[in-house]
Amino acid sequence: MEIKEILTKTKTIAVVGCSSNPKKVAYQVPKYLQEKGYKIIPINPNAKGILGEKVFASLNDLDQRVDLVLVFRPSEETPIVTKQAVGQTKYIWFQLGIYNEEAEEIAKAANIPIIMNKCIMVEHRKLF
């Protein structure tokens, strides 16, 4: 599946590892996406509200399906996050620097397209 198609079909994005610190990329990227019209759902066990949105402790706590799960967590944590995303989302995206073969296999086994090691903001700016 092409990146442009994923970004076009996506309306809601759960951001795993979303930060409440405006200096961090895990805050700046979701803020950019929110400004571009995407509904952001922050996933962070240590925050109450980020970018004016209700925060969920984990993907398991979501009360709705999302179009895309965007991951800002260390590569070694991604298999767990990917398992939680199965059944919750249509697409999975690991930010720049995040790659894990086991997570990729989990996503492929569930027929979920997965993008790894790419910045969603950079890709969005290139295409739109």
In the chain, how many domains are there?
1
Note down the domain range covering 79.
3-127
- At CA 74, angle to CA 73 and CA 80, rounded to 5? 75
This prediction has a pTM of 0.97
- What CATH number is given to the structural domain containing 9? 3.40.50.720
Q: Could you report the per-residue pLDDT of 11-37, keeping only the tens digit for each?
A: 999 999 999 999 999 999 999 999 999
37: left (phi over 0), alpha (psi -120 to 50) or beta: left
Per-residue burial over 90-128, b if 16 or more Cβ lie within 10 Å, else e, is bbbbbbbebebeebbebbeeeebbbbbebebbebbeeee
**What is the per-residue pLDDT for 42?**
98
Q: Could you report the per-residue pLDDT of 1-18, keeping only the tens digit for each?
A: 799 999 999 999 999 999
